[in-house]
Structure 1
Amino acid sequence: MITPTSAALRPLYTAAQVRELDQRTIAAGMEGFALMQRAASSAWHSFRAHWPQARSMTVLCGSGNNGGDGHVLAALAMQSGMKVQRISLKPLDALTGDAARAAELATAAGVGCTTWMPESVLEGDVIVDALLGTGLRDAVRGDYVGAIECINAGSQPVLSIDIPSGLAADSGAVLGLAVHADCTVTFIGDKLGLYTGEAPAYTGEIDFRPLGVKALGYTDIIPSAWRLEEALLPEALPPRRRTAHKGDMGHVLVMAGAPGFGGAGLLASEAALRLGAGKVSLATAAEHVAPALVRCPETMARGVRGAADVEALIAQADVLVVGPGIGQDAWGQAMMQSALAAKAPLVVDADGLNLLASRWPNLRRDDWVLTPHPGEAARLLGCSTHAVQADRPAAARALQQQRGGIVVLKGSGTLIAGPQGLMVCPFGNPGMASGGMGDVLSGMLGALIAQRHDIEQATWLGTLTHALAADRGAKARGERGLLASDLAFYARELINP
């Protein structure tokens, strides 16, 4: 049984939670400025690890503690013999608190400073973004807009302190505009918003530095989410018993492929077989049976015309996958209605989700997995796709609360919302922007549910395997041209660690 405290799950926090961890660390005896110095020292080590040949840096400092980290980093760089250009968005004599103290430290170390001007030229080999921290709530405004635009217009690599300026720490949304970083060094508690929404296009590599703070030691501060790690697969998928047989591995029924849409069912069925299901049946339009058997004869394909033809198949199955390629007319409605009447767990995708939104708007179950992309999630929630993407964690939680079961909100930084909380899958790549990827995911989920009988944890594992398989495929031959059918080969390797 996997628990959220597993070493293969990394805790993620909101900005407010990290501020609370910061305050408790200070209350326990560490001075706030000492913690700032520790953060700057970690940032300096991260800088050196990523750009060992750099001989100069430009540090842009905001008016708060994020800027304070930048001032101390500038002092450390100067003391190491590096040429440092320091630009402040606020006059130094107007700073207060630890930020003022940090600026004085940099000045005492011999670091010059200029106040930001629209005509400022960024001269360093590497740019350090210490403008806006995790407290940003509204759109970037004022001089910060010009400073971020200047950073993004430059050709130099960028290190962001704690979070790329302009990125929302809790949702990964861009608040007007944000810094495109090559590396983000983040402190104390890893942030949920660094891994979903628009964040992966802005963070670059994420370098988490806890600064000696053991966040999980504060048991009353429950992580906002957990990040799935590849190490979860060997932990959760040990070798099979030597006496195992196909009856132990579950029976998946894929209900997919209305007339003219046969590929979806083939992809889902083959993925279920490659993920180790003992038996896979495919209920599809009669015209797709022959192609299914040619492509994958291990699939037990059956042509069905309506609900009466599928009843016996449903009775034999341990889990149903319904929705890929079923359409929304009479055939698809019959498949969906039959699936909903079944006692077995369901994986619902594609037009199955659209039918739920239009014909079963209030239906709730505890034994299903819903796998919407943002557009489908918007239809289920009765809102816009933009609203879903503006706060993906909130959308995933809201959909799970309304519909029950497990919700997989697909997209960059896929989110899994269920009774055990919110999980984030940080893997995957733009090569997955092609048809059939969701069909393959549905088949994988069905196979793992059939084998594990724990719907939530099987969903974690299936989502993780799907994304990692895509990453292996992209690494082997590139992102462009990656096909959904490519994933099964790499997924099989992953589930046999």
Structure 2
Amino acid sequence: MSGNRSEEPQVVLRPLYRAKQVRELDRRTIAAGIEGFALMQRAATAAWQSLKSRWPGVKRITVLCGGGNNGGDGHVLAALASVAGVEVQRITLKPISALEGDAARAAEMATAAGVGLEPWSKGIAFSGEVVVDALLGTGLGGEVRGEFRNAIEAVNACGLPVLAIDIPSGLAADTGAELGMAVRATRTVTFIGDKIGLHTGRAPALTGEVHFRALGVDARSHADLAPAAELLDQDLLRVWLPPRSRDAHKGAMGHVLVLGGAPGFGGAALLASEAAARLGAGKVSLATAPEHVTACLTYRPEVMVHGLRGAAELGDLPGKADVIVIGPGLGQDAWGQGMLQAALAESGPLVVDADGLNLLASHFSGQRRDDWILTPHPGEAGRLLGLSAAEVEADRPAAVRELQQRYGGVAILKGAGSLVAGPDGMAVCPYGNPGMASGGMGDVLTGILGSLLAQGLPLETAARLGVMIHALAADMAVRDAGERGLLAADLASYARVIVNPGFEPGFHSLAGGHDAHKTR
């Protein structure tokens, strides 16, 4: 890929930690001389400020407090709100007399500030305009039960906006799984170290806006606490996708070969091919079943399409390509099996998706490479790992780590908060939307990845950027026309805008079709 990256500023990604690591950061901060209750006050102050900024005219709030330090944060926030003249309804799920340590001090602080106290009872009416969730923190180890479950159900049913302190109660901080029942927050304020479980799995449906407050703690300075992952940032695009050299030519922009489109399944491979071309690959070839050739040439004549009755007719096509994309519309019959076998025999990088992954699990087990990107959704990941899709979703970070360790290269676990695992660690994509829940989206991603690899990006960098570009293109499309009805074919032209980050057009795509533009 052309362009000089050496002079570009580096983008520092936000580290994401597991709950145990954040507790260790908390312990070290206290050991360094900051009193635990002072740290609790910092957290509650940050949460209160966040509440005021999000709901500046609030007059009444309801604070639900559990029994640990998360509940303590709630008690202190209640005191701060009361002092500020806000009417506070404080509901506790653990008797004040049973609280210990900093949580007990926090409850006393709220009482001293004149905040009333109501014990939780099923059917209690919330009098606030905003509900503060301080029920359960990051230490939750099993499913929510009993009165806490009843309280969470009441919060979710009340119809009021919700501020979650540190984490929505019932959400697993390490995995993003919902532990039986979790609060659906409007905003979550989290402290000291951001948690990986706030950004993947069920989390995007439960956290609302995630605001991170370090409380004066520099987690990065603790080098022995390696982050569990990093949160991707679209600023990476300007670093890795600089303007092209003025003498660039198609031979320097890479050649992508898409293997897919078994008889009756031509659309997926064409979606991947178009995405590869729109992302800037110099040449894109498509090897597909003969009956799809006419449609491919009509829809996208820039793609060099070859109608093949089987892998024996591939000839020297694989050897001419810089990267092979295999899987979209591949099928699992003899046609697809032969194509995958031919791809695996090549020494260049691969992007494997869809039935390519299913065939890896069923017919080509034991394969491992350092030069491929695997892109499973939870069902495909389960087949590769011998797990159910539900087991994969129960611990997405563990699943994607196991995929990468077992199969090599880079593994992408698609879904809300897509995860990218490679030799350099794990990254989480914070972009994307529910409009992407439609057929063909994964095919577009494979084409994007293949194009970036063909243009010379390193494997792991291409995977991280590709996942971001894919999600950001969907976000841009949704801003134009909404989530429902978003089609995979809509994404390629939006992605083209995104991969030209220095370009400021007077128009953007695309309300009127995949090649249409409208004025701003």
Shorter chain as normaliser: what TM range?
over 0.9
Cα distance in 2 between the residues matched to 1:263 and 1:410: 20
Partner of 1:224: 228
Separation (CA, whole Å) in 1 of partners of 2:240 and 2:38: 41
Question: SS at the partner of 2:416?
Answer: coil
Matched residue count = 495
Tell whether the 8 Å contact from 1:322 to 1:349 is kept in structure 2 after alignment. Answer: yes
Residue ranges of structure 2 left out of the alignment (5+ in a row): 502-520
CA distance in 2, matches of 1:487, 1:8: 28
Q: Distance in 2 between matches of 1:408 and 1:148?
A: 33
1:311 counterpart SS class: coil
Separation of aligned partners in 1, 2:315 and 2:474: 35
Q: Which amino acid in 2 is paired with 1:457?
A: T
Match of 1:169 among 150, 166, 173: 173
Give the alignment of 1:408-423 within 5 angstroms: 408-423=412-427
Q: In the alignment, what sits opposite 1:259?
A: 263
Kindly provide the CA deviation profile for residues 91-111 of structure 1, in whole angstroms up to 9, marking residues without a partner as x.
111100000000001111111
1:352 corresponds to 2:392: no
Which structure 2 residues correspond to residues 168-207 of structure 1 after superposition, within 5 A? 168-207=172-211
Q: 1:254-333 residue pairs with structure 2 within 5 A?
A: 254-333=258-337
Q: Is the 8 A contact 2:10 2:239 kept in 1?
A: no
1:159 aligns with 2:159: no
Alpha-carbon displacement from aligned partner over 1:176-198 (angstroms, at most 9, x marks no partner): 10001000000011110011111
Match of 1:393 among 391, 397, 401: 397
Q: How does 1:466-485 map to 2 (within 5 A)?
A: 466-485=470-489
Q: Over aligned residues, Cα RMSD in angstroms? A: 1.1
With the length of structure 1 as denominator, give the TM-score of the two structures: 0.98
Code of the aligned partner of 1:39: A
Cα deviation, residue 119, structure 1? 3.0
Query: Whole-Å Cα distance in 1 between the matches of residues 18 and 443 of structure 2?
Result: 32
Aligned residue for 2:270, secondary structure, equals: helix
- Any conservation in 2 of the 1:167–1:178 contact (CA below 8 Å)? yes
1:117-136 to 2 correspondences below 5 Å = 117-136=121-140
**Does the CA contact (< 8 Å) of 1:8 and 1:228 recur in 2?**
no
Aligned to 2:515: none
Partner of 1:440: 444
1:35 matched residue in structure 2: 39
SS at match of 1:439: helix
**Distance (whole Å) between structure 2 residues aligned to residue 84 and residue 375 of structure 1:** 46
SS at match of 2:258: strand
What is the CA–CA distance in structure 2 between the aligned matches of 1:270 and 1:119, rounded to whole Å?
A: 56
Deviations 1:290-322 (A, max 9, x none): 111111111111111122211310010000000
Cα distance in structure 1, aligned partners of 2:12 and 2:218: 17
Give the C-alpha shift of residue 331 in structure 1. Answer: 0.5
Tell me if structure 2 keeps the 8 A contact 1:311–1:338: no
**Is the CA contact (8 Å cut-off) linking 1:14 and 1:170 kept in structure 2?**
yes
Find the aligned partners of 2:83 and 2:181 in 1 and give their Cα distance: 33
Residue by residue over 1:133-169, the C-alpha shift from the partner in whole angstroms, topping out at 9 and shown as x without a partner, is: 0000101122111111111110111000000000000
Q: Secondary structure at the match of 2:380?
A: helix
Query: What per-residue deviation string (whole Å, max 9, x for no partner) do you get for residues 227-269 of structure 1?
Result: 1111111121111111111111110000010111110111000
Q: Which runs of 5+ in 1 are unaligned?
A: none
Percent of pairs identical after alignment?
65
For residues 54-79 of structure 1, the C-alpha deviation after alignment (integer angstroms, 9 at most, x for no partner) is: 10000000000000000000000000
What's the counterpart of residue 50 of structure 2? 46
Q: Judge conservation of contact 1:9–1:232 (CA < 8 Å) in 2.
A: no
Matches of 1:381 and 1:461, distance apart in 2:
25
| Aligned counterpart, 1:455 | 459
d(CA) in 2 for partners of 1:201, 1:300: 41
Matched, 1:211 2:215: yes
Residue 109 of structure 1 corresponds to: 113
Partner SS for 1:143: helix
Amino acid in structure 1 at the alignment position of 2:389: T
2:488 is matched by which residue type in structure 1?
A
CA distance in 1, matches of 2:233, 2:165: 24
- State the one-letter code of the partner of 1:44: W
Structure 1: which amino acid aligns with 2:187?
C
Q: Which amino acid aligns with 1:177?
A: M
TM-score, with structure 2 as normaliser: 0.94
1:18 correspondence with 2:22:
yes
Report how far residue 440 of structure 1 moved. Answer: 0.4
Q: Tell me, what secondary structure is at the counterpart of 1:43?
A: helix
One-letter identity of the residue aligned with 1:492: R
Letter in 2 for 1:63: G
Output the CA distance in 2 between the equivalents of 1:187 and 1:311. 58
3-state SS of the aligned residue for 2:314?
A: helix
Asked whether 1:92 is paired with 2:92, we answer no
Alignment correspondent of 1:379: 383
SS at match of 2:370: coil
For 1:247, give the aligned amino acid.
G
Q: Quick check: 2:260–2:269 contact (8 Å CA) kept in 1?
A: yes
Query: Counterpart of 2:356 in 1: which secondary structure?
Result: helix
